[in-house]
A and B are shown apart, each in its own frame.
Chain A
């Protein structure tokens, strides 16, 4: 399978780790960064979790009683906690500043074991900066809904929890991909393509475009990056998940990613071959942006480390149309 980082480095690209000091994180996972170009500035939301992912990806002989894929929490706190850091990056993609996103104005006592806004993507709509992801701590059963958090000076000024467009009882809505050039619109599903529009006044959403599937066996693609405009196309990265169990009925998983390209009428024009980023089986992308003609992709490796991949202009076309 194509290793996107290797392919990029072999063709003049670069990679930058995103690291903030461990005294802010206790050394646990920094993951799922979401890059965003704001005028001349480069911003990146970086998710921090209180666990460490343990994933046996090779011979499967160094596992533990939790199985080959486990989330290692503190033993006295089994809650999976997310906080977000807002990074400002230099032109060379090193970190200029970092600050924890202050959610104190909107926080309430969590009612379920996953705390915080997960896998937040950055977006600027109507001149307001938002991070948008899934939150599952507002009901006793962990029901997930997409939320938009309005940020002002790195503080969460308002929080909007969006209802699903049709099935109001659905358990978990997540990985909706914000469309950067269409305010308050998301790609809710890729194939068949479903575009939803959200109303932050009513907190409702409605499906505004629903296409026919184009490839029958590729209907399980889930959202990853934002949807960005490249020329006359809209482009995103999606992921697919393979889940299985070993002989001990312990779960395991593998993620692969693809580029998806639509024309401006939301007809899928291309779905790339699957790729991984750094040969890991658990990797995840939450951000993509064009910056000075280069394509920047922010992703996490094993839920434990975050990187930005810089694909030079000369390689963008061949990379996404592969």
Chain B
């Protein structure tokens, strides 16, 4: 009925751009996108209201998007709208989204950055132009960035978006799906090689003899730095040990004569450790009996379980009241922790037992803080602590930290 009323208004005043727009909107609401597009174009052709022209161009683009496979025209309409109001966000967002849907990744990545930078005005439209906030630029940047090889940045953006409460449910789910599909929770180890010796942040005793390491982010090298260098008979308790060599934090230590207990909940590792001449105990770290380490000083404690809430529960099971550890690496996975609470809880807990945070927010890239590294100040040379200390809030890319770049 509304359509017929507007139709009659249009007939009385067929070059009134506001009426053309309204009639177009009535047609669009019932899916008649061709009728709507013709009237939106007519609104722009006869109208002088730049804001209405802007919106009409974008509505045309949305109509053609619904019709499907009219991308060239859609891009042209959106660009024309941008030329009218370059500081409004709606068109920039649609442009970035259109490039993304066309798999024009480089264009989409750039349009998302330019669009966000240009969008100095607030959205202001009569109809919904599918713009919900500037996080949408980050979403397009993350998607397009991945496809042009900017993996770390893409994952970082998706993780930030996952924690952004402004996202609607569709986008939230898409972010979760992307994070799941992109497998962003594991980074290949950053390998230390002998030729990197001169770059080491602290050249521990006989460090020049180390040929290579195994840890994901130099945890083994950090342990050796803090404990002063190569000595035999060091001890460790490795909780969440996973592979016996690849990304493992105690493989190098064992090669140097250390010994200790390695446990993991996943039975797949038992045989692989055995095949490599190492021993791994399959156990649930939450039910493990830690009394065997009570009353001793252990040189290194690793806690690396999933999810981070489990790591924290394990941490609480450790008998800190009667056991000391020279070095602790604790994986809080802050970048992926939905509660964003484990990092702070673990810090308070370890500080309560006298441990000192030496390095915060270690990350395999510039975006993914996932571990804190601790020492017991009674058991570590304070000069080394001074050299190694970096507890700013920023993520610390592991190689930049360990090589003091």
Contacts and interface: CB of A to CB of B under 8 A. Distances in A.
A52 B67 contact: yes
Contacts of A73: 70
A54 B60 CA distance: 10
A27 B76 contact: no
A22 B41 contact: no
A202 interface: no
Contacts, number: 115
A123 B57 CA distance: 41
Contacts of B72: 75
The DSSP consensus for interface residues of chain A is loop
Interface string B50-86: 0001000100000110111111110011001000000
A58 interface: yes
Contacts of A315: none
A100 interface: no
Interface stretch (B8-16, B126-134, B227-235, B348-356): B8-16
A305 B42 contact: no
A27 B67 contact: yes
Contacts of B64: 52, 72
B265 interface: no
B112 interface: no
B191 interface: no
A9 B63 CA distance: 30
A59 B41 CA distance: 11
Contacts of A75: 69-72
Given A9-B11, A65-B76, A278-B10, A57 B31 contact: no
A6 B15 CA distance: 13
Contacts of B68: 26, 74
Contacts of A28: 33-34, 67
Interface string A4-19: 0110010000011101
A244 interface: no
B3 A58 contact: no
A55 B35 CA distance: 12
B76 A22 contact: no
B10 to A, nearest CB: 7
A60 interface: yes
Nearest to A24: B31
A64 B60 CA distance: 13
A61 B31 CA distance: 27
Nearest to B48: A59
A72 B145 CA distance: 31
B38 A55 contact: yes
Contacts of A61: 45
A76 interface: yes
A56 B76 CA distance: 15
A286 to B, nearest CB: 17
A3 B11 contact: yes
Contacts of A3: 11, 14
B176 interface: no
Given A27-B67, A56-B41, A59-B46, A22 B31 contact: yes
B32 interface: yes
Contacts of B143: none
Contacts of A16: 4
B41 A26 contact: no
Contact of B14 (A56, A65, A278): A278
B403 to A, nearest CB: 51
B73 A64 contact: yes
Contacts of A56: 41, 45
Given A54-B41, A62-B57, A15 B7 contact: yes
B34 A27 contact: yes
A50 B349 CA distance: 67
Interface of A: 3, 5-6, 9, 15-17, 19, 21-23, 26-30, 52-62, 64-65, 72-77, 278-280, 301-305
14 contacts: A9-B11, A9-B12, A15-B7, A17-B4, A17-B7, A22-B32, A26-B67, A27-B34, A52-B63, A54-B37, A57-B42, A59-B45, A304-B37, A304-B38
- Top 7 closest pairs, chain A to chain B, by CB: A22-B31, A58-B45, A27-B33, A279-B14, A74-B69, A52-B34, A305-B35
Given A54-B73, A59-B45, A305-B27, 8 more contacts: A6-B12, A27-B31, A52-B63, A59-B46, A73-B70, A74-B68, A75-B72, A303-B38
